[in-house]
């Protein structure tokens, strides 16, 4: 069965305070500005594209799964200074995911992880489709597998 799904980027609005903060305030928030020195290498969680060499990116801590159970999770992410929030079409997979080793983490309605796999980005579509065959799947998180950093979420379309 071919299921519809939607990949969601983070909204740039979430990071408004970081963009307005001084270096000292950023330091208190465990965040800082970096200059991308390779591409790919600094995947933006707002635009879902890699920063270009020389581009300014924010690295900050982000809680991507707020839950009252053991699966609550957070970690570092990158946000491009000039990012625009990506608005993807149904079943669209952003190119930032195509050539990476990914971790697909699958959650139930009560935020319990019910499955997980490590896949090549080129296999993401079929992995999502396979997971959506399970009616217990509420949503999925995609992480960059090697560093383990959160990338984006997937919901039924």
Question: Mind listing the pLDDT tens digit for each residue in 27-83?
Answer: 999 999 999 999 999 999 999 999 999 999 999 999 988 888 888 888 999 999 999
When comparing pLDDT for 66 and 135, which is higher? 135
Mean pLDDT score of the chain, rounded to an integer? 95
User: Does the pLDDT value for residue 1 go beyond 80?
Assistant: no
| Predicted local confidence at residue 147, as pLDDT | 86
Q: Which residue pairs from 149-152 have beta carbons closer than 8 angstroms and sit at least 24 positions apart in sequence?
A: 149/75, 149/76, 149/77, 150/45, 150/62, 150/64, 150/73, 150/75, 150/77, 151/43, 151/45, 151/48, 151/96, 151/97, 151/102, 152/7, 152/8, 152/9, 152/10, 152/45, 152/48, 152/94, 152/97
**Model pLDDT for residues 2-15, shown as the tens digit of each residue:** 999 999 999 999 99
- Please give the average per-residue pLDDT across 145-149, as a whole number: 89
| Predicted local confidence at residue 57, as pLDDT | 98
Confidence tier at 136 by pLDDT (50, 70, 90) = very high
User: Does the pLDDT value for residue 92 go beyond 90?
Assistant: yes
| Predicted local confidence at residue 71, as pLDDT | 81
């Amino acid at each position: 069965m071919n299921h519809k799904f939607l990949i969601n980027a983070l909204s740039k609005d979430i990071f408004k305070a970081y963009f307005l903060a001084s270096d000292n305030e950023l330091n208190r928030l465990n965040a800082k500005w970096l200059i991308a020195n390779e591409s790919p290498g600094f995947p933006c969680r707002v635009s879902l594209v890699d920063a270009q060499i020389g581009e300014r990116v924010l690295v900050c801590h982000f809680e991507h799964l707020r839950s009252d159970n053991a699966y609550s999770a957070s970690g570092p992410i990158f946000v491009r200074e000039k990012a625009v929030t990506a608005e993807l079409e149904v079943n669209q997979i952003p190119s930032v995911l195509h050539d990476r080793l990914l971790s697909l983490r699958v959650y139930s309605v009560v935020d319990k992880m019910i499955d997980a796999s490590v896949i090549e980005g080129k296999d993401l579509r079929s992995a999502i489709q396979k997971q959506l065959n399970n009616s217990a799947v509420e949503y999925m998180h995609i992480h960059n597998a090697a560093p383990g950093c959160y990338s984006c979420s997937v919901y039924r379309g």
